[in-house]
A and B are shown apart, each in its own frame.
Chain A
Amino acid sequence: MIGVLSELSYWQVTSIRVAAGLGAVLLVAGTLVYVHLFKMVSFMQSRLGPMEAGPYGSLQLMAEIGKFLQKEDIVPRRADRFVFKAAPFVVLASTFLLLVVLPGGPDAWFISNDLGIYLAMAVGSISVIGILMAGWGSASKYSLLGGLRATGQLIAYELPLLLAVVGVVIQAQSMNLQEIVLVQANGEIFGWGGVGNPFIVTQFVGFLIFMVAMQAELTQTPFDMPVAESELVTGYMTEYSGLRFLLFFIGEFATAGVFSAIAAVLFLGGWYVPGLDPTDNLFNVIGPLVLIGKVVLLSFLIFWIRFTFPRFREDQLQRLAWKFLVPLALGNIVVTAVFKVAF
């Protein structure tokens, strides 16, 4: 432990990190819902969106949370009570665990671990179990079909996601996300170090694969077969109401935020902005804000695509993953490895 945090004792540092984790999940989820889901989409569709609660509808979120908390928490009669009730927490736990590896500044990190991105990919896959639990535990055929579709999709797109990351790992020579940020901050493009070397320049193919696979992992349109509302009501979330539906909802947007943050760290230089010294103490304050700025930018892309494209069919979706993205990602790894050895 280095820098400002070294003067505090273990429990103080831990409580700061827990508070930061809670804030990162709830604030980022709230920001994404308000900025993108409420406002951006409304403007794209030539309407105003929520305007009544607070100035420009900024308190609409509070109203929504109040509404969900008031609703009755219904468990279907034939449902498996424990599995049904536990499922949203498993999904949300996966989101919180994903957050743990993210660095927000030179000293502002949760854990700085060798395994970094590998750990993130491992804990990210836990959410699939939560979705299957929700799908089966609801005792409803819509939920079960939604859960099965979600699982098939998440398994298929986890592969290109992982393989796209490998290119970055080869170039940065580290899986530690903090290291990856520093490599980008101190990097040079053909001897010119003005903006560092964000990996979006050299790993552009990897970035595209990562964004497409991320869209599918988040089950956002055009990859929203699992929650296809015209066929399955809302898929595995059909039977949920009140608090537990809210948890799924927060989980969906918080995961979108955390995945965007991982993409920002891997490809856009994370908390670093060009022109400053990456060891500057200033980054412990503005680093998290810079990262959130990049998150809003990347999640803008996610929601822009979400509200622009029609849904894929199941077979098209699987074909895109296995026959296009996986070979492309493997090719990207080979090319990156050759360049790494050659230069």
Chain B
Amino acid sequence: MTAMLRMRISSAFFNGTHLRLLTCLSLAVVLLPPYLLFGGNSARTRSTERERGHRMTERTSILTERIQSIQVCTGTGKGVSCEKESVSGSVSQRACVYCGARVVLNPITDAYHIVHGPIGCASYTWDIRGSLSSGSELYRNSFSTDLREKDIIFGGEKKLWAAIQELMVKETPTPKLIFVYATCIVGVIGDDVTAVCKKAEDTYEIRVIPVFSPGFSGTKSTGYKIACDALTRLMLPYREQPKQFGVNILGDYNLAGEMWIIRNYLRRIGVPVIATITGDARFETLIQAPSATLNIVQCAGSSTYLANRMEAEFGVPYIKVSFFGVEDTTASICRIADALGISAIRTKAEEFVREETERVIPILRKYRPRLEGKRAAIFVGGGFKAISLMRQFRELGIQTVVVGTQTGKKDEYEILAQLADPETVILDDANPAELEQFMIEKKADILVGGVKERPLAYKLGIAFCDHNHERKHALGGFDGIENFVKEINLSINNPVWRYLDKE
């Protein structure tokens, strides 16, 4: 029986072309929900092999090259194929290297961000993120060298140099920090951006940091790394400074003031914050970062590399933390206290998290009955965020039925598989067609995702949670927990859904 069923599955699901998966599936047979394999119909359907195969082809929205990146969670088997390049033409939701670098560096408030290249890269990225500043608003601008055809042929170095010169002459206050992003074209035409930056540094005695971020040179994660290198380069000349007691916050971009919230928590337990990287960062505080006693890394995906470099270069040790959800926030605050090794801080930390937990638990309790039993789909950038969201949903009684990431790692998928129910679909680098198919099939009530995914969810009549860089309310820390459940509730229980004819 099992053997027969297995045969059917292989031919029905994969049109017989993907025998490689046969072994992987053998363990899964019993656990796989038949309706997924048989095109949304129940296993009771007694149709011929041919009919089934035909229906699958007709219905399926999955490219054969993508099959291995999709898994129906079984808790066993080989897991999702991930950490690969996107399949051409599959309409990936991923972004580019420049995007990754820009995301990390953009929140530095008093820096000039010069995008060296044709206009597109700058025009897509000015003032689109919710990073907040307590001072300069400079970072909300994009400065572009706006390369034209002639520049592509003869090179854009002169234009870049002229741009920097002009800033130095005309801008007040005079720039003290400039980032120059080298985009795709600059990477191809071979402008010596380093030389121009060096010349500018020497001429004006300011910091001009090149950021080598041509889109083709990797993924968004590559961009994070490049940004981290740029930051290290920025800090290196200030390595010789006396140590002071205090931490740097890495990987929080102060979206909707989240960094401020975390910094307040730390101050409340007696931990001074030296530099914030890069949420609400400014040149003067950034260069003090090497003097800190400890780095705490919030967005591990973008900033672990920087933390490692800072440990190697400046001897600042680091620990990773997360401030999404009660559990993570509590653990992180206590961990920071422990890492600092000061029992008075640990005592204060315990007191603080107890108070805050007592405050937010009733809020969660209030919302839970409205959310229990709902079905969520998650499609976010990194694996850790997906895991964190899945756990938060579980706390609320929400079942995650589809979960995917743009750039999740193998181990992260394994944990997702562990957290998931047997029917959950797990996807790596999913495209809209797959999201569409599985959200419908799994009857998702809400999607958590980025801005691009939002209209798709809406067209399918599915609620949406904006867990992305455009959010205008904090989702981190204890303060964010309330915002999170509020947002889920207001979308998932919105009356508009009752007017949609979904069946």
Asked if A and B are interacting partners, one says: no
Residues of B at the A interface (CB closer than 8 Å) are none
